[in-house]
Amino acid sequence: MGTRIIIVVVLAAACMAAMTVHAAAIVPPKNCGKLEANGKRYNIKADQMRCRTARKYARRYLTSGRKPRGYSCRNYGRETKIKFRCSKSIKVVFAIRR
């Protein structure tokens, strides 16, 4: 009987410990507003960077095709609303066609 109580108490403690562990919150990208480049409108989104910087990088990339220093960029075709996405480590900026 005593062994049963110990097992129940250990299992209850393990369940309580498992419920108190929290995962890191997933935060969606910031909406940095609309931008017009080459006669087309885009919605700029940024993750882990300031909107001011994201808009500057997006305008330069959309008008001249120059990617920000140290970033890798990918252009998307017509099959998606995303125009481009540039990333460097955890910093990300992308544009959505409007």
Is there a domain that residue 70 lies in?
yes
Specify whether the CB–CB gap between 93 and 57 falls below 8 A: yes
Is there a domain that residue 71 lies in?
yes
When divided into structural domains, the chain yields a total of 1
Domain span at residue 72 reads: 30-97
Is there a domain that residue 16 lies in?
no
Provide the H-helix boundaries in 1-98. Answer: 2-20, 51-64
- Read off the pLDDT of each residue in 29-40 and give the average, rounded to a whole number: 96
Q: What digits encode the pLDDT tens for the residues 6-19?
A: 766 666 666 665 55
The yes-or-no verdict on residue 92 having pLDDT over 90 is yes
For the entire predicted model, the pTM comes to 0.73
Is there a domain that residue 57 lies in?
yes
Is there a domain that residue 23 lies in?
no
The yes-or-no verdict on residue 22 having pLDDT over 90 is no
Is there a domain that residue 14 lies in?
no
Which is more confident, 97 or 11? 97
Specify whether the CB–CB gap between 87 and 36 falls below 8 A: no
